[in-house]
Structure 1
Amino acid sequence: MTRIYVGPGSLVGLGTVGETTLLKTFDGEIVIPEIAASEVSTEPAKTNMEILVADGGATREAIETDHAERAMGILGISEPVVESRLLESVLAAMDDDQAADTGDDEPVVGLVTDDRRLRTVAEGLGATVTGTFGVVVRAASEDKYLKTTQAKRIVRRIDSHGLHLTGELRAQAIGDL
């Protein structure tokens, strides 16, 4: 089963507007690393993240693998941070997949983050990557109960609560819906 790791920016973006449950539309296990959860300190994002976990929509886990040094090296840092822990999860999943070599076409690991650099690196390693607005677009395309007009309202609400899009990105996000 695919494990999908969620970064703090996406948790804050979705949680601020009460839409963390949109993460449930992914086919896989939603994992919130403890280091990411600790950075979600604003309300109502923190409470909405905790509700998602309490309802079984996600699990919270500490990320400790043998890939910490490699992840920090790739990112050019000397101490673990959220981004390196997320990348560490991707590296560990990719190594596990290569060791198992099942030949399955299902994605091994997913990553939900708005950090552009981390997204680029993770995609280069073979992870399936999306951001906050990608979660909304996916939910609109996968969930027959979430209408396109509702998804557009969610994008606008997220945009108005601090995750400001450039005009081009907003048009693309709404256009994708």
Structure 2
Amino acid sequence: MSRIYVGPTAVYSLGQVGELSLLTSFDGDVVVPKPVREASAVEPTVTNLDELLDGDDVRAVTEADADIERAQRLLGEKDVGTAAAVIAGVLARRDSDDRSAVAVVSEDRTVRQMCRGLGAQVTSSFGVVVRATLEDKYLSPRQAKRIVRRIDQHGMHLTGELRERAVGEIGD
């Protein structure tokens, strides 16, 4: 079964607009590394994340110390940050007996590039909205476009070109 690691930027952007449940549109085990959960300290993201984790569809995980240390070395970081926690998950999955797909949801450029280089599929919170629209018959393109605009207004500012691309991928 595939595993999808969610980074802090995606937790923040989807949590601020009350749309973290869109993460459940993925086929696979959706996880939020514990350092990401701990770093999510802004309301309403905290409340929305707690509600999501109280359900059975998404869980918080801690990766092995050895994987965290490897991720820190790759990043050149000394503390266990959220980036190291996400990358450690990709490393752990890559080295496991179950080499099924691994994906990362993040807007962080460094995390995205490193995870892509490690063989993970990478998407953003906007990609989550697009996927949910395509996979879920209950989320209409009109609703998805509103969600993209709300995310854009709550801090994950897109250039006009990127916003139109995200909205365009949703279709009509």
TM-score, shorter chain, exceeding 0.5: yes
Specify the alignment match of 2:25 in structure 1: 25
Secondary structure of 1:119's partner?
A: helix
> Whole-Å Cα distance in 1 between the matches of residues 55 and 92 of structure 2?
27
Partner of 1:131: 124
Native 8 Å contact 1:65 1:92 kept in 2: no
Alignment-derived partner of residue 121 in structure 1: 114
Residues 1:143 and 2:136 aligned together: yes
Task: Write the distance in 2 (CA, Å) between the matches of 1:100 and 1:136.
Answer: 28
Gaps of 5+ in 2: none
Equivalent residue letter for 2:67 = H
Gaps of 5+ in 1: none
* Offset of residue 100 of structure 1: 5.1
1:172 paired to 2:165: yes
Give the SS at the match of 1:38: helix
- Distance change in 2, residues 1:100/1:14 (3 Å): closer
Residues 59-138 of structure 1: pairs in structure 2 closer than 5 A: 59-96=59-96, 99=97, 106-107=100-101, 109-138=102-131
User: Which has the larger displacement, 33-42 or 59-68?
Assistant: 59-68
**Aligned-residue offset at 1:23:** 0.3
How far apart in 1 are the matches of 2:155 and 2:40? 14
Aligned-partner residue type, residue 80 of structure 2:
P
Q: What's the Cα RMSD here?
A: 1.4
Amino acid in structure 2 at the alignment position of 1:8: P
Residues 7-39 of structure 1 deviation map (CA, whole Å, 9 limit, x = unaligned): 111111111111111000000111111100011
User: Residue 65 of structure 1: CA displacement?
Assistant: 3.9
State the match for 2:148 in structure 1.
155
The CA deviation at 1:64 is 2.5
Q: Determine helix, strand or coil for the equivalent of 1:66.
A: helix
1:130-177: CA deviation from partner (whole Å, max 9, x where unpaired)? 111110010011111111111000000011111111112111111111
Q: Secondary structure at the match of 2:40?
A: coil
* Alignment-mate amino acid for residue 69 of structure 1: E
Structure 1 length as normaliser, TM-score?
0.91
Percent of aligned pairs with the same residue?
Answer: 45
Corresponding letter in the other structure for 1:12: Y
